[in-house]
């Protein structure tokens, strides 16, 4: 007889399904963003040849050029890190690492667009002992999990898989039911956020495609105007200026992160809470842990008994403590309560804004 899946298991399956859709959108965004960057480069070359172009617009073109170069370099660094770890894990030549996934370049470009060029990725913690069938998408899945929690370089140990291990430390059946209810609420919240991110990704993809098509036509049009700005007609000059404005907007599409993939509680929120309450929030439990907990429990309502239960389940979860580089005695109930107070302050600020 097939054992009936629990609500948490069903929720995990649904979250995994949504994540696969989201990751596929990120890969597609990376592919389209690459085309856009190539067109931006093409039209940059055209402008480089035009004489007597207004100096203010030349400066703007240089800024656009630097944006594109930095974006491409960041994606290249992520790809290099991937290949480095592939080499360590499989012992294969770095030059052949891309054979394990043709979608790797698009995945890292999509991640660079989605999370912004300030995101960090060390990779070593992701490919520890095994390589997935599709390394790029496996990397992207775990990259997402980490970057959605924080821009810091540490594992998002707050995944349902690891937290689910807390059940074995609870002997009381009612406690297990309560914990499952909390984890299901976390999963449902994440699903909702992921769906919004998918919509945002789709909108960004459409905009990138449209801008790419426009710039492709603009390249040919700009070439037809000649190389001397001073002898062009007023209409042609106006068109060239409008192209620069479009280029600027297109470049922003490469570097403006997807809002739905950003952490709900940021370092700025944490700093604001510390400053407003004038006390030391930097004890033995690191800021990283507090950021993880704050994002994990964002908009999750817990009464006093649920708070204690949740803390108890984590404090006894060895895998959680190891991943967070934290001793059991360091993780007191007060740490969790401080995090919940910080969240309450953020909710209040959102209402007042």
Least confident of 62-71, 74-83, 117-126, 232-241: 117-126
**Are 215 and 250 spatial neighbours (Cβ–Cβ below 8 Å)?**
yes
pLDDT tens-digit profile of 29-63? Answer: 989 999 999 999 999 999 999 999 999 999 999 99
Model pLDDT, residue 168 = 62
Residue 166: exposed, middle, or buried by beta-carbon count in 10 A (0-12, 13-18, 19+)? buried
**Are 310 and 336 spatial neighbours (Cβ–Cβ below 8 Å)?**
yes
Q: What is the reported pTM? A: 0.83
**Are 35 and 221 spatial neighbours (Cβ–Cβ below 8 Å)?**
no
Cα–Cα distance, 285 to 335 (Å, whole number) = 8
pLDDT tens-digit profile of 230-278? Answer: 999 999 999 999 999 999 999 999 999 888 888 899 889 998 998 888 6
Report residue 215 as tokens: 């710039």
Domain boundaries, the chain: 12-153+191-257, 267-352
* Four-residue CA torsion sign, 76, 78, 84, 89: negative
Cα–Cα distance, 126 to 138 (Å, whole number) = 9
Cα–Cα distance, 70 to 72 (Å, whole number) = 5
Cα–Cα distance, 142 to 116 (Å, whole number) = 16
**Are 347 and 297 spatial neighbours (Cβ–Cβ below 8 Å)?**
no
Least confident of 153-157, 159-163, 166-170, 225-229: 153-157
Cα–Cα distance, 67 to 61 (Å, whole number) = 10
């Amino acid at each position: 007889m097939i054992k009936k899946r629990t609500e948490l298991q069903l929720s995990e399956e649904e979250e995994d399904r949504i994540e696969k859709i989201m990751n596929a959108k990120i890969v597609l965004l990376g592919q389209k963003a690459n085309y856009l960057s190539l067109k931006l480069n093409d039209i940059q070359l055209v402008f480089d040849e035009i004489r007597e172009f207004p100096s203010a617009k030349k400066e703007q073109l240089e800024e656009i050029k630097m944006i594109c170069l930095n974006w491409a370099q960041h994606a290249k660094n992520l790809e290099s890190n991937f290949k480095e770890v592939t080499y360590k894990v499989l012992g294969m030549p770095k030059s052949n690492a891309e054979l394990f996934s043709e979608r790797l370049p698009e995945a890292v470009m999509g991640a660079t667009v989605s999370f912004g060029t300030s995101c960090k990725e060390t990779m070593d913690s992701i490919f520890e002992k095994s390589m997935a069938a599709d390394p790029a998408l496996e990397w992207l899945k775990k990259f997402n999990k980490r970057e959605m929690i924080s821009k810091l370089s540490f594992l998002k140990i707050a995944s349902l898989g690891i937290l689910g291990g807390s059940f074995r430390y609870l002997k009381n059946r009612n406690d297990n039911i309560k914990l499952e209810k909390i984890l299901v609420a976390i999963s449902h919240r994440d699903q909702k956020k992921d769906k919004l991110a998918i919509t945002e990704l789709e909108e960004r993809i459409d905009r990138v495609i449209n801008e790419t098509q426009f710039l492709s036509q603009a390249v040919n049009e700009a070439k037809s105007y000649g190389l001397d700005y001073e002898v062009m007609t007023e209409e042609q000059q106006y068109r060239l200026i409008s192209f620069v404005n479009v280029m600027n907007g297109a470049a922003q599409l490469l570097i403006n992160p997807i809002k739905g993939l950003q952490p709900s509680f940021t370092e700025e929120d944490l700093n604001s809470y510390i400053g407003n309450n004038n006390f030391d929030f930097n004890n033995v439990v690191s800021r990283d842990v507090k950021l993880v907990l704050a994002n994990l429990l964002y908009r999750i309502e817990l009464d006093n008994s649920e708070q204690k239960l949740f803390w108890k389940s984590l404090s006894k979860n060895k895998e959680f403590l190891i991943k967070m580089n934290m001793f059991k005695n360091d993780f007191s109930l007060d740490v969790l309560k401080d995090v919940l107070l910080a969240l309450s302050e953020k909710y209040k600020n959102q209402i007042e804004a």
